[in-house]
């Protein structure tokens, strides 16, 4: 798989997210050729440390902080991919049709029946009372077919 792993103490490490084909050392220039065995083989790689991929050792607090940061980076990567997908034809529709958007609120898990016409979004509340304590109220359009995400201007939403 071309993954090199070395051991070093966590107190010298940093975290970087690198994409497929970039080198494990995390300092690849755009367009630079990387030997296969040195390249990230999957979609993304998390590089701990400046020179090599490493397996962490060290005190729990530092390791936990690094892993939390890595997970945030992966989440941001996924969200960016879902935003980019919003501008493409929906891969879940035959012959690349439009996304099946519904308005969705993070944390609460609330969705509305949704009609999107250009910039205008009309959301029909369907009586769900599915509240949660940790909802962050982040509203966006979500395609259940392909997971695409489109950020919305809350002023453009009319609730009926």
Report strand pairing: 101-105 vs 6-9: unpaired
Q: In the bound complex, what is the minimum distance in angstroms from residue 98's beta carbon to Zn ion?
A: 8
Answer yes or no whether residue 143 interacts with Zn ion by CB under 5 A.
yes
Q: In the bound complex, what is the minimum distance in angstroms from residue 6's beta carbon to Zn ion?
A: 41
User: Which of 23, 40, 66, 146 contacts Zn ion by CB under 5 A?
Assistant: 146
CA distance 24 to 51: 8
Answer yes or no whether residue 149 interacts with Zn ion by CB under 5 A.
no
Q: Are 145 and 103 within 8 A, CB to CB? A: no
Answer yes or no whether residue 141 interacts with Zn ion by CB under 5 A.
no
**Closest CB to Zn ion among residues 2, 145:** 145
Nearest alpha-carbon partner for 79 in 142, 156, 19, 15: 142
Nearest alpha-carbon partner for 75 in 108, 99, 106, 110: 106
**Closest CB to Zn ion among residues 52, 78:** 78
Contact residues for Zn ion (CB under 5 A)? Answer: 90, 99, 143, 145-146, 148
């Amino acid at each position: 798989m071309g993954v090199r792993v070395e051991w070093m103490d966590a107190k010298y490490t940093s975290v970087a997210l690198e994409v497929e084909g970039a080198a494990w050392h995390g300092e690849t220039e755009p367009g630079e050729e990387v030997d296969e065995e040195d390249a990230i083989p999957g979609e993304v790689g998390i590089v701990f440390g400046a020179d090599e991929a490493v397996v962490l050792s060290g005190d729990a607090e530092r390791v936990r902080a690094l892993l939390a940061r890595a997970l945030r980076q992966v989440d941001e990567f996924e969200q960016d991919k879902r935003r980019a997908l919003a501008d493409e034809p929906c891969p879940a529709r035959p012959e690349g049709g439009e996304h099946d958007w519904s308005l969705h609120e993070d944390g609460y898990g609330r969705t509305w029946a949704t009609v999107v016409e250009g910039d205008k979004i009309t959301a029909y509340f369907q009586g769900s009372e599915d509240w949660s304590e940790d909802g962050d109220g982040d509203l966006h359009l979500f395609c259940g077919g392909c997971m695409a995400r489109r950020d919305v201007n809350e002023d453009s939403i009319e609730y009926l």
